[in-house]
Amino acid sequence: MASRGMKILIVDDHAVVRQGVSRLLAELPEVKIFESETAVAALTLLRNEAPDIVILDINLGGSSGLELLARIKAEFRSSVLMFSMYSDANYAARALRAGASGYVSKSASVDELITAVKKIANGEKYIEQELAGELAFAASEPDPMQSLTNRETEILRLLGEGKSLTEIAGTFGIAYKTVANSCSRLKEKLGLDRTADLIRISIENRSR
């Protein structure tokens, strides 16, 4: 069950998502909820409010939730529940390795989200049931996707969303050449020859 006086920070760049989750969690006993649209604002709230749980989206519209997760685990004591539109075992596995206490997709039921928060509040871990089986299966087979860095994973995701290398460079505030070099490393790690193959792999992993 939720701990007494529990604080929860919801980090998502969509106001409707933040407000919807806030209303759902407000039904938990003695919970105080904070909302943040950006990683910068989230870090300020983390310093000032010390939330017990951070519900964090992977895609923050210009920054990476996985990178914010790494900062949270390095600098704060908050537990993190990744809450993403991606029902993808690769993203879930990466988030867990980076220190997340749980992973739930935005297509999960309300009951599953509430269950995840309660489990994490009790110091447990929680993976959306639909993904848990995929993770167990993936653990028995080597997966080159697991060798990707967080930045490479984000670049691959943006390629699958139709972003150009120039747009990706702008999203992360890095040079075009840096993105191009990352794409070359991605192709090498995944055994691919063309950028078009990277896009295909990204779409396939997103839709699994």
Q: Over the stretch 146-163, which tens digit does the pLDDT of each residue have? A: 778 888 888 988 998 899
**Dihedral angle at the C-alpha atoms of 23, 29, 34, 38, nearest 10 degrees?**
-70
- Read off the pLDDT of residues 67-109 as tens digits, 9 standing for 90 and up: 899 999 999 999 999 998 877 777 888 888 889 999 999 988 9
CATH code for the domain defined by 144-206: 1.10.10.10
CB 101 within 8 A of CB 77: no
The 3-state DSSP class for residue 102 equals strand
Q: Do the domains spanning 6-139 and 144-206 agree at the CATH topology level?
A: no
Which residues on adjacent β-strands are paired with residue 64? Answer: 59
* Domain residue extents for the chain: 6-139, 144-206
Domain spanning 6-139: CATH 1.10.580.10: no
CB 193 within 8 A of CB 187: yes
* pTM score of the predicted model: 0.67
